[in-house]
Amino acid sequence: MPLDRAAVDHVARLARLDLSEDERARMQAELTQILGHAEKIQELDLDGIPPTSHSVPLSNVLRPDEVTPSLPVDEALANAPEAEDGRFRVPRIIEDA
Amino acid sequence: MSVKEDLYETTVGLEIHVELATRSKMFCGCSVSFAGEANSRTCPVCLGMPGTLPVPNERAIEYTMKIGLALNCDIAERSLFHRKNYFYPDMPKNYQISQYDLPLCERGHVDIAGDFGETRVGITRVHLEEDTGKSVHMGGTGRIADSDYSLEDFNRAGTPLVEIVSEPDIRSAEEARVFVAELRSLLESLGVSDVRMEEGSLRVDANVSVRRSGEKEFGAKVEVKNMNSIRSVGRALEYEEKRQREALDAGETLVQETRHFDEKTGTTSSLRTKEFAFDYRYFPEPDLVPLAPSTEWVQRVRESLPELPAVRRVRLASEYGLGAADISVLTGSTKTADWFEAAAAAYGGDAKKVVNWIIADLFGLLNEAQMELHETRFTPAQLAGLISMIDEGKISGKQAKLVLADMFESGDDPEKVAADKGLEQVSDAGAIETAVDEVIAENADAADKVRAGQMNTIGFLVGQVMKKTKGQANPGMVNELLRKKLSS
Amino acid sequence: MDLLWASATELAGALGAGEVSSREVTEALIERAEAVDPKIKAYLQRTDERALADADAADERRSRGEMRSAYDGVPLAYKDIFVTRGITTTCGSKILENFVPPYDATVVERCDAAGLPMLGKLNMDEFAMGSSTENSAFGPTRNPWDLDTVPGGSSGGSVALVAAGAAPWAWGTDTGGSIRQPAALCGLVGVKPTYGLVSRYGMIAFASSLDQAGPITRSVKDAAALLNMAAGGDDMDSTCLKEPVPDYLVGIDRGIDGMRIGVVKEFQGEGSQPGVRARVDEALTRLEKLGATLEEVSMPSFEHGISAYYLIAPAEASSNLARYDGVRYGHRSAADDIVQMTSRTRDEGFGAEVKRRIMLGTYALSAGYYEAYYGKAQKVRTLITRDFEKAYSNVDLIVSPTSPTTAFKIGERTDDPLAMYLSDVYTVPVNLAGNAAVSVPCGLSDDGLPVGLQIIAKSLDEKTMFRAAYAFEQDLGLDERPNI
């Protein structure tokens, strides 16, 4: 099923990718092709087959409620692109759509 | 113009978030305390640094099950964590680890009672997730809308959060308010959270819709946020009910939207229309394996449940013969009720006396000092001691109030306070008798009048004895002695 | 002993016998890097100072008889996907160009604890997405066997460095074949362990349910030895198995007499280059000669492996890569508001392949499409796991070519993402089922380029896999090296 341009724009927004016009056009074609290939699994009858969400046979892996040392503040902020007053500074927050 | 209330039906569903009082965060070992400078309780995991992985806090899971069991839920045999994907600067990973179609607890209920009678509110689910960081919006009034930029603090990011979702069984603002109060009381009794709405450890969002009575379809669902106290829940929903009724009455169509409650004006205003539903792209969290709590574990948690508020209220009524109003006040918090019961047990006598002292006198002092009952500087046993002193005639009721006020500041024993203040009521029969004899001798006319039958003069004589004993004689004893001596 | 071409085990032996010092070995490798790396560009960052300091410390420990392990002092390099404290870690991406982690990956910690000096960080396809290392934001790595060809990917830097004699061994990661395929293309041994055997803490995530770290070495014994050092439970990774781990070297030379080996029916015939087919067929004959019996096994679900993989991996990746938003670390683009800032940061910081997979993954998970795409792909995964289980009730191991082709030319497939994806067709089913596999060199194709044989074991049966790989390797006695 071909992907329309609106879908590309919607997904780009969801994924926070400011794609250029060129990128959007190319993405539309490439994704359509890849999804077309992936769509072959649509033909399979998978009723009654449980999905595998984890391939390790583990459950209940927990840790005790104990405090371990945190990073010193300067280390926590060392990679911050912008910091102010011991906090990470970000541009004006606007609500999405 | 008032709108006839029975023309309309209100439906409310609540979504409550509870910050758990564990020592460490949900998925890492950073401390969960309120103290510390910004970003001082973070690590690569809760900062969402590359390559980091979550490991769940065992106690948080236990607390969640505790809440679920207290709410009469079924505990899942198999439960999964899911990723809830969305971008926001207070989200270290831009996805929140939460639960989706396999939550830890489901299908519970809470019974509430009030002016509206009694009703059962269903609990759809109780699940576990992680909290976000905190944003501070700079350059304007502090709200996002007029800010220039924001600052992010991730100390809170990763704190374990339980989400409780009620069925849309609530039918009025008052029911909602009572429900939240009861839920808060219940959570508090479990000891799983500080449950302080003003501090954010208990958060309430509501979905409200009003429709014409008898109509099959629900009205537009309006989400109400920013209710920061139990009282606000009542106020906000009352306003919202009224707003929706008036709109419907005026023939308007209501839209599905999110509204923000303003504490100051007591009104709600539109934040955003909810036509655009967020696409969270939920999928099972691949970094976490399934939860399958054993029956033994669930049983242990069930056995660890304390006496829940509803049960305690019934017991207090029957055991201490207390009325609903008193019970309601005393069971406002578990610690208050515990303190009361300890005092009543220490006293051993009529519990109503203990109740009266707490409610009539102690609460006044506590409110002024902005303290809770359990924070009182003296012990329940010491209150019991004070009341006993009155019973034994060692001090009068009036004097006891002074002693209480002193005990409140000093935390000292009532005996010590009374002695220090020289307030020990004189109940020594010999000492009183001496004073009585003296007064009779000094007030022969009045004494004759009493002998002659004019009992109302006895008050004057009692007063004279009190004066002579500097107010410390036990007035009851004085009265009795005077009568005896003047009845011949 | 030729320090550049000795195996890690041989070097350990020489160090133990006092024939050479760790410093000498490290210096030789640094010198070699000076000579060859300008041609192959395997390194993103050399850590010479650190390597020499580590080496000196190792020599010092050895002089006191206090070795941390049998391999104390044998240098090692890491794919730049492993977070290293105080050392820039980029994951092959501009978006992390300046990221200096304040923590180490568990794999790094364990190798440090074993005393292995750190040579540096190696090139890779950006965020491990690719099969040629051409998707690195910092330029491609070249195959030492033919500098016009790719080394494979995404662990291209790791294999190129080892294949060029500039490191005895290196760590890579494998999500859909990213250790095995480059190992095959460069004539090396590459292992993808059972999912959950090696901790993923500090290994930058691509597809969480598929990623595994694994050794890239010149000999099978080296691979077993390196796996020994890192495998086993980790409190920082809840998907890491907690059972005690066997010593993979013990019994490795027991031979394969009587072993039953399955040959995948669906992988026969079309799909592989003739030269690849020929070497693999010869390998099968050799296995029989060594005492194994071959049987055909049918794995009908394998046909859908690529489709399932290219829905699951991008879906998980789209979520794993959401954290790269310019807020707490990494690249940040200028903008007026948070949405613009994050969107530009990611558009500028990510390369084309990464963006493509994020878009694909986001779409596969989005409302209305989950069941049809991600949901169904997870079910195909179950089918693949079941096919493996059924096969393993009749055979001990399964073999196939590792890659359908030998190393292709740089630039040959970059315009055709789908063609690039299809190079993973033999390796992907193992990641989907979570079991273990190794690629061992099985000769050179007619074009003079290496061919790899893939040996697949059932979950946690690395020992059987190593036994077969070792027997095969020893019997084949390959002694080819690239001319570089």
What's the total number of domains in chain B?
Answer: 3
Burial of residue B143 (CB within 10 Å: 0-12, 13-18, 19+) is exposed
| Confidence (pLDDT) at B1 | 45
Strands B222-227 and B257-262: parallel
Check if C154 is active-site: yes
| Confidence (pLDDT) at B427 | 63
A15–C342 C-beta distance less than 8 A: no
Q: Six-digit token pair at C406?
A: 């030998």
What number of other Cβ atoms are within 10 A of residue B249's Cβ? 14
CA distances from B170 to B177, B212, B412 (A): 10, 16, 48
B51–C202 C-beta distance less than 8 A: yes
pTM of the model: 0.91
Whether chain B has a CB inside 8 Å of the CB on C88: the answer is no
What crossing angle do the helices spanning B58-70 and B173-190 adopt, rounded to 10°?
130
- The Cα of A10 is separated from the nearest Cα of chain C by a number of Å equal to 9
Q: Are residues B275 and B147 in the same domain?
A: yes
What number of other Cβ atoms are within 10 A of residue B95's Cβ? 24
pLDDT in tens, B353-395: 999 999 999 999 999 999 989 899 999 999 999 999 999 888 8
| Confidence (pLDDT) at A60 | 95
What crossing angle do the helices spanning B230-249 and B173-190 adopt, rounded to 10°?
160
Q: Are residues B405 and B438 in the same domain?
A: no
> Which member of C338, C365, C367 has the closest CB to residue B89?
C338
Which H or E element spans position C320?
A: helix C305-320
> Which member of C204, C207, C370 has the closest CB to residue B51?
C204
| Confidence (pLDDT) at B432 | 81
Per-residue pLDDT at B411 exceeds 60: yes
Residues 6 or more apart whose Cβ sits within 8 Å of residue C472: C256, C283, C286, C287, C290, C440, C442, C453, C455
Strands B82-85 and B74-75: unpaired
Task: Please give the residue of chain B at the shortest CA–CA distance from C370.
Answer: B281
Mutate to test the interface with C, among A3, A9, A18 (most CBs of C within 10 A): A18
Distance, in Å, from the CA atom of A58 to the CA atom of C397, rounded to the nearest integer, reads 24
Which H or E element spans position C440?
A: strand C436-444
**Catalytic one of C154, C403, C439, C459:** C154
Alpha-carbon torsion (C291, C297, C299, C300), positive or negative: positive
The CATH number of residue B481's host domain is 1.10.10.410
Q: Six-digit token pair at A41?
A: 């699994």
Check residues B274 and C412 and name the one with the higher pLDDT.
Answer: C412
- Cβ atoms of C275 and C407 within 8 Å: the answer is no
Task: Please give the residue of chain C at the shortest CA–CA distance from A51.
Answer: C379
With contacts defined as CB-CB under 8 Å, which chain A residues touch C385? 52, 55
| Confidence (pLDDT) at B488 | 61
Beta-strand runs (E) in C193-306: 212-217, 260-264, 293-297
- Cβ atoms of B55 and C236 within 8 Å: the answer is yes
Q: Are residues B455 and B366 in the same domain?
A: no
With contacts defined as CB-CB under 8 Å, which chain C residues touch B55? 235-238
| Confidence (pLDDT) at C271 | 78
- The Cα of C17 is separated from the nearest Cα of chain B by a number of Å equal to 39
- Helix (H/G/I), strand (E/B), else coil: C82: strand
Q: What is the mean pLDDT of chain B?
A: 91
Strand order in the sheet with B283-284: B95-98, B82-85, B283-284
**Catalytic one of C41, C79, C121, C221:** C79
Q: Are residues B316 and B179 in the same domain?
A: no
- Cβ atoms of C199 and C227 within 8 Å: the answer is no
Q: Are residues B251 and B185 in the same domain?
A: yes
What number of other Cβ atoms are within 10 A of residue C166's Cβ? 30
- Cβ atoms of C152 and C181 within 8 Å: the answer is yes
Whether chain B has a CB inside 8 Å of the CB on A95: the answer is yes
pLDDT in tens, B69-96: 999 999 999 999 999 999 999 999 999 9
B44–A71 C-beta distance less than 8 A: yes
Distance, in Å, from the CA atom of B116 to the CA atom of B112, rounded to the nearest integer, reads 10
> Which member of B89, B94, B281 has the closest CB to residue C366?
B281
Instruction: Name which of B252-256, B395-399, C161-165 the model is least confident about.
Output: B395-399
- Helix (H/G/I), strand (E/B), else coil: C371: helix
Task: Please give the residue of chain B at the shortest CA–CA distance from C81.
Answer: B51
State residue B484 phi and psi, 5-degree precision.
Answer: -60, -50
| Confidence (pLDDT) at A45 | 85
Q: Show the DSSP H helices in chain A as ranges.
A: 5-14, 21-38, 73-77
- Per-residue pLDDT tens listing for chain C (484 residues): 899 999 999 999 999 999 999 999 999 999 999 999 999 999 999 999 999 999 999 999 999 999 999 999 999 999 999 999 999 999 999 999 999 999 999 999 999 999 999 999 999 999 999 999 999 999 999 999 999 999 999 999 999 999 999 999 999 999 999 999 999 999 999 999 999 999 999 999 999 999 999 999 999 999 999 999 999 999 999 999 999 999 999 999 999 999 999 999 988 767 789 999 999 999 999 999 999 999 999 999 998 999 999 999 999 999 999 999 999 999 999 999 999 999 999 999 999 999 999 999 999 999 888 888 999 999 999 999 999 999 999 999 999 999 999 999 999 998 887 778 888 999 999 999 999 999 999 999 999 999 999 999 999 999 999 999 999 999 999 988 999 8
Interface subset of C 259-298, CB within 8 angstroms of A: none
Amino acid at B390: I
- Cβ atoms of C441 and C189 within 8 Å: the answer is yes
- Cβ atoms of C157 and C409 within 8 Å: the answer is no
Strand-pair partners of C453 = C401, C440
pLDDT in tens, B118-173: 999 999 999 999 999 999 999 999 888 899 999 999 999 999 999 999 999 999 99
Q: What is the mean pLDDT of chain A?
A: 91
- Cβ atoms of B53 and A61 within 8 Å: the answer is no
pLDDT-derived band at A39 (thresholds 50, 70, 90) equals: confident
pLDDT-derived band at B277 (thresholds 50, 70, 90) equals: low
Q: Are residues B379 and B482 in the same domain?
A: no
Reported residue count of chain B is: 488
What number of other Cβ atoms are within 10 A of residue C54's Cβ? 24
| Confidence (pLDDT) at C129 | 97
- Cβ atoms of B97 and B60 within 8 Å: the answer is no
Query: Do you find a cis peptide bond into B135, omega within 30 degrees of 0?
Result: no
Whether chain C has a CB inside 8 Å of the CB on A68: the answer is no
Whether chain A has a CB inside 8 Å of the CB on C390: the answer is no
With contacts defined as CB-CB under 8 Å, which chain C residues touch A62? 238
Q: Are residues B437 and B394 in the same domain?
A: no
With contacts defined as CB-CB under 8 Å, which chain A residues touch B29? 63, 66-69
Q: pLDDT exceeding 90 applies to what percent of chain B?
A: 65
> Which member of B86, B148, B290 has the closest CB to residue A54?
B290
Q: Six-digit token pair at C286?
A: 């050799």
Burial of residue C198 (CB within 10 Å: 0-12, 13-18, 19+) is buried
Q: Are residues B248 and B352 in the same domain?
A: no
> Which member of B22, B149, B284 has the closest CB to residue A92?
B149
A96–C342 C-beta distance less than 8 A: no
CA distances from C254 to B140, C190, C476 (A): 75, 21, 16
B contact chains, 3+ CB pairs < 8 A: A, C
C310–A34 C-beta distance less than 8 A: yes
Instruction: Name which of B311-320, B387-396, B415-424, C152-161 the model is least confident about.
Output: B415-424
**DSSP summary character for residue C34:** H
Whether chain A has a CB inside 8 Å of the CB on C369: the answer is no
**Catalytic one of C22, C93, C131, C178:** C178
Distance, in Å, from the CA atom of B423 to the CA atom of B404, rounded to the nearest integer, reads 12
Q: Are residues B65 and B165 in the same domain?
A: yes
Task: Please give the residue of chain C at the shortest CA–CA distance from B84.
Answer: C319
pLDDT-derived band at A96 (thresholds 50, 70, 90) equals: low
CA C482, distance to chain mean position in Å, is 20
Q: Six-digit token pair at C13?
A: 């032996």
A contact chains, 3+ CB pairs < 8 A: B, C
What number of other Cβ atoms are within 10 A of residue B472's Cβ? 19
Per-residue pLDDT at B441 exceeds 80: yes
Q: Which of B401, B420, B439 is a domain's end point? A: B420
Q: Six-digit token pair at B453?
A: 């039958």
- Helix (H/G/I), strand (E/B), else coil: C322: helix
Whether chain A has a CB inside 8 Å of the CB on C463: the answer is no
Interface subset of A 23-42, CB within 8 angstroms of C: 23, 27, 30-31, 33-35, 37-42
Strand-pair partners of B110 = B121
pLDDT-derived band at B426 (thresholds 50, 70, 90) equals: low
Distance, in Å, from the CA atom of C459 to the CA atom of C437, rounded to the nearest integer, reads 9
Q: Are residues B127 and B275 in the same domain?
A: yes
Q: Are residues B173 and B220 in the same domain?
A: yes
What number of other Cβ atoms are within 10 A of residue C258's Cβ? 9
Whether chain B has a CB inside 8 Å of the CB on C319: the answer is yes
Distance, in Å, from the CA atom of C426 to the CA atom of C174, rounded to the nearest integer, reads 13
Alpha-carbon torsion (C149, C154, C157, C160), positive or negative: negative
pLDDT-derived band at B478 (thresholds 50, 70, 90) equals: confident
| Confidence (pLDDT) at B112 | 93
CA distances from C21 to B11, B15, C164, C313 (A): 79, 66, 21, 44
Q: Which of B420, B448, B468 is a domain's end point? A: B420
State residue A54 phi and psi, 5-degree precision.
Answer: -140, 130
Q: Are residues B287 and B313 in the same domain?
A: no
Q: pLDDT exceeding 70 applies to what percent of chain B?
A: 97
Strand-pair partners of C105 = none
Check if C178 is active-site: yes
Q: How many CA atoms lie within 13 A of B356 on its CB side?
A: 8
Q: Six-digit token pair at B204?
A: 């309430």
Per-residue pLDDT at B2 exceeds 60: no
Kindly report the three-state secondary structure assignment for every residue of chain B: CCCCHHHEEEEEEEEEEEECCCCECCCCCCECCCCCCCCCCCCCCCCCCCCCCCCCEHHHHHHHHHHHHHCCCEECCCECCEEEECCCCCCCCCEEEECCCCCCEEEEEEEEEECCEEEEEEEEEEEEEECCCEEEEECCCCCHHHCCEEEEECCCCCCEEEEEEECCCECCHHHHHHHHHHHHHHHHHHCCCCCCHHHCCEEEEEEEEEEECCCCCCCCCEEEEEECCHHHHHHHHHHHHHHHHHHHHCCCCCCCEEEEEECCCCEEEEEEECCCCCCCCCEECCCCCCECCCHHHHHHHHHCCCCCHHHHHHHHHHHHCCCHHHHHHHCCCHHHHHHHHHHHHHHCCCHHHHHHHHHHHHHHHHHHHCCCHHHCCCCHHHHHHHHHHHHCCCCCHHHHHHHHHHHHHHCCCHHHHHHHCCCCCECCHHHHHHHHHHHHHHCHHHHHHHHCCCHHHHHHHHHHHHHHCCCCECHHHHHHHHHHHCCC
| Confidence (pLDDT) at B419 | 84
- The Cα of C409 is separated from the nearest Cα of chain A by a number of Å equal to 22
Query: Which domain range does residue B444 map to?
Result: 429-487
Distance, in Å, from the CA atom of B132 to the CA atom of B153, rounded to the nearest integer, reads 9
Q: Which of B420, B439, B470 is a domain's end point? A: B420
Please state the rounded mean pLDDT for residues B475-488.
84
Domains and CATH numbers, chain C: 8-258 (3.90.1300.10)
> Which member of B42, B60, B279 has the closest CB to residue A76?
B42
B49–C101 C-beta distance less than 8 A: yes
B61–A62 C-beta distance less than 8 A: yes
Per-residue pLDDT at B418 exceeds 90: no
